[in-house]
Amino acid sequence: MSHHTAPHDSRVVIIGLGVVGAAVADELVLRGWTDVTVVEQGPLFETGGSSSHAPGFVFQTSPNKAMCELAQRTLDKLDGAEVDGQWVMKRVGGLELATTAERVEELHRRHDFAKSWGVPAQLLTPEEVAALWPDIDTSTVLSALHTPTDAVVKGVRAVEFQARRAQAGGARLVSETQVTGIRRSGTRVTGVETVPVGSDAEPEVIEADIVISCAGLWGPKLARELLGMDIPMLPVEHGFGFSQPIESLAGLDDATEVARPMIRHQDHGMYLREWGSRIAIGAYEHRPLPVADHEIASPEQILRHGGQASIHPFTRQDFEASWVEAQRLLPELRETTLDDSLSFNGIFSFTPDGGPLLGPVPGIEGLWMAQSVWVTQSAGVGEVVAQWLTTGDPGIDTHGLDVARFDPLLTSQRWAREQGEESYDEVYDIVHPRATTLRLRGLRTSPFYERQRGRGASFSSANGWERPLWYESNATLPDMRPAVPMLGDAPLPTRDQWSAQYWSPLVAVEARRLRESVGLVDMSSLPRWELSGTGATEFLDGLADDGLLSRRVGRTVGSIVYALILDERGGILSDITIARTAEETYHLGVNGNLDAAWFQMMMRQRSYALHLRDASSGSCGLGLWGPQAREVLQGLVDEDLSHEAFRFYRSRELHVAGVPVLAMRLSYVGELGWELYAPAEFGRHLWDVLIGAGRRHDILPVGRRAFESLRLEKGMRLWGTDMTREHTPHEAGIEFAVRGAAAEKLTAIGADQPSRKLVCLLLEDPSKVLMGHEPVYAAGDDGRPIGYVTSADQGYVTGQSIAYAWVPAEHSAAGTEVEASYFGRRLRARVAEEPLFDPSASRMRS
């Protein structure tokens, strides 16, 4: 049985019968689960949550593959569905307009996303737009993206269609009843307490093995009051206006409702569609209007006074600019007014990264969430959660969807509000893939922060940490010569405007200096945990013996292994380093909170009382790498650092100029060196002594951008970008990390014979730089893409433009010619032997 799988006869309670709760119930029943109860505080179907007023725009195209797949699944499921003879979904298509040169380029990029993820799409001229929507003023329209399979979904009908089918299959629907408590025995859910809305009766207990919160905009309040936890989710008001009836739409009755494509006019932060004889308009242009718990009407208030909790009064002043632009775009609206009696501010939810909150809640066995889900992804989320629960395999990459992905240290109400407001602001913005948050900056800083600022560091935010991207001080080298950025042996070519954002030519200087001499990289933001206690070794080796960890831990104190966390079918849940720092103590370099949640779950399931401690909070880390790294460090320690005394993939405690340091000899950049971790209070001194000792070797501080380039030259995979749980080790090219029982298991299930591969591409033109998610085509083929790009950058030492991409195995041989589409323009590339740099690995093992 998989670690997430529940027994077939589990008793399930779903909180909320919105479009998500209905989808989850339906999907569980379709999989043969019948002991399913849905508790809804409102009336059935039109429950009063966000599903009851959602405009139902389902645009599938997204830079995020998983979010696109969820939208595709939603439409595939609801295609052709009816409720009492009325349609649930219409594939009227979508139309995204461009009225600026920047938006035209963005539509080319979005067209490429559509191609990568298999969404039918085409770019239109203004004349073609006018043919689809004759009433549009196309005088400012430069281009448009038409996605003919996008759809309008009627939220309430989608709820009713799925809920009635679940009910017919045995699910129980309980309306106008509130969940007032979640019962637990130890760390396990045992049921929910419910009372009829408005009643003073004693709570009734519905026993349950699994409780799934699909409470929508009430989710944050429910989590705080019933679970004592904050979830990073913010309900926000969104202006939605209706015009008075217009003559050209007189032929559209309430039953037909919409015939032409939905329009997104993103340069003005708005969307429009036919709504019977009216035009309906949604506005993202206005200020964020966050909604606190107490500002959402309670079920009792709705029972007494009527209305819908998710609908707030229309704030006309926030909507005015959108109405003026709508009248300009659709001249017929100039003859009419907004219908304030129908217009409203609807509430729906935002998370810091725009993804939903799905999956098992860490620390509470049997408690699941499906929160912050729009109609767009709703039925897809129902499928994924049901499959995840019943088989242990969600069927798609969930790392950007999982409720456990956020660091608990960050998830305060303030952080959720600030990040949620920013997500709202950016819904229709052109957001660069390298952009970083502008909210709550400086929240987490390493002890090197002031030193880095003094060197002109340009920072991004990573998990709340300020992380240097490059240093302006490196424009002048230590001997006062101006730095000359190079690409291989040639001057660095000028980048195009898009790829030059969040980047500097100094990145090339930093990368080359690390390769040629020595560089210092801030590693403090790397998530690290310490696992300790009697039985820690037995626990880890047990995971390896069951094929869930790709190899056993090292036999001796000081050993380090690189291992993969695998699911039952060999999918890569994460990649980690495991350093044995004492007989029963392990230092784990992980990818984030998902890994900690996984280890905690495994300990509970296997009855191990071990201690798992966050080792990165309160500490700091520096990577010291390059041919001169040993010479720099040796002068600061008494211990012998020769290769024979301190071998590759070993760790030990050192004192570096008096600083207690855990030194780990490993390298993500392919050079000799160490990761050095110390208590935070020693950090500034550690920085200063390393910089001082490296001065005669012209040491430079090196930022994240150079680090990323160096790892691509060395062929190092980045989990979550290059590989996810959708991929197996043999597909991702890291089967070297699989040993013993895990290797036998992968062979037994056929996961060692990949039909697709992650390959290294070299672009013919080294001045061109891809950004990720671009479609990849067989050379000269104008048909469907064969794959897509994961990560890319220039290799400043190898002199090449590098991209990693997923392609079918038959296109993976070195020398195979392919093309990548960049803003709709084809760039020639070929598959390369990898790693590109130092194939023998002699540099980092010397």
Q: Which residues are catalytic?
A: 238, 271, 575
| Residues with Cβ within 8 Å of residue 292, at least 6 apart in sequence | none
Q: Strand, helix or coil at 775?
A: strand
Both structure tokens of 296? 């959402």
Dihedral angle of Cα 190, 196, 199, 201, to the nearest 10 degrees: -40
Q: Which amino acid is at 89?
A: M
**How far lies 705's CA from each of 197, 460, 692, 701, 844, in Å?**
55, 10, 24, 12, 20
**How far lies 308's CA from each of 294, 304, 305, 345, 373, in Å?**
15, 12, 10, 11, 19
Q: Which of 439, 468, 438 is nearest to 453 (CA)?
A: 468
- List alpha helices for 695-830, DSSP H: 704-713, 729-732, 740-748
Contact (Cβ atoms closer than 8 angstroms) between residue 463 and residue 614: no
Q: Which amino acid is at 279?
A: I
Dihedral angle of Cα 641, 451, 414, 289, to the nearest 10 degrees: -130
Q: Strand, helix or coil at 465?
A: strand
**How far lies 379's CA from each of 8, 150, 160, 178, in Å?**
22, 15, 12, 24
Transcribe 655-684 into DSSP letters: EETTEEEEEE---SSSSSEEEEEEEGGGHH
Query: Helix axis angle, 536-545 relative to 740-748, nearest 10°?
Result: 20
CA distance 420 to 425: 9
User: What is the end-to-end Cα distance of the chain in Å, rounded?
Assistant: 45
Contact (Cβ atoms closer than 8 angstroms) between residue 726 and residue 758: no
CA distance 359 to 263: 33
Strand bridging mode 172-174 / 36-39: parallel
